Amino acid sequence: MHTTCAECGAVFAVENTIHYGNVDVCSGCKPVFMQKLAEGASVKTGELHYAGFWIRFLAIFVDGLIIGVMQILAALASGFTLLQLIGLQPRGSIGPTLALAAMQYGIAALYEILMIGKFGATLGKMACSIRVVRDTGAPVSMPLSTGRYFAKVLLGIPTLYIGYIIAAFDIEKRALHDRICSTRVIRK
């Protein structure tokens, strides 16, 4: 089992850290951490500062713009015209239309899964200084990022986005997909 050092942010085996409050500290950071405690200086205690509903909404909006541009560029590169994309010119048979829909869905899925799994945030979240973490504050893994994305998709449209709206009323500002995957969106 692994944990994240509260001081340096690196990942270590639990047995190679000390536990203090809600955080773990690696052996390299232990002297500095203990000195801060002795001096009464501010230390990271593992308390998460949750991102509110509106900042999360702004991040989703920015991500939507980024994904939209990527989808349009990919569609144009695939041979669709701008008039076909906005519906002013017929797209032809159903095959190309289904291929376009699959490509657009794939772009959105890969963008979010890869960005959250690798960096803990999409570009929109980075711009808003927020990120996705596990309930312990540890980074999100690629499989958890994948599960979180598909939970968002499955719970978004059929529930009329109630899964997102509950974040406005939750004490930890969690949407339904965050509850299912035990993730939190926090301010950096």
Cβ atoms of 103 and 78 within 8 Å: the answer is yes
Q: What does pTM read for this prediction?
A: 0.73
Q: Does residue 123 carry a pLDDT above 80? A: yes
Tell me the pLDDT tens digit for each residue of 61-120.
999 999 999 999 999 998 888 888 887 777 777 888 898 899 999 999 999 999 999 999
What residue type is assigned to position 120 of the chain? G
pLDDT at 131: 95
pLDDT at 182: 92
Structure-model confidence comparison of residues 175 and 3, the more confident one: 175
pLDDT at 37: 81
Cβ atoms of 4 and 41 within 8 Å: the answer is no
Residue with tokens 């001096």: 39
Residue 130's nearest CA partner among 21, 50, 24, 69 is: 50
Tell me the pLDDT tens digit for each residue of 17-61.
888 877 788 888 888 888 888 887 776 666 778 999 999 999 999
Dihedral, CA of residue 147, residue 152, residue 157 and residue 158, to nearest 10: 60
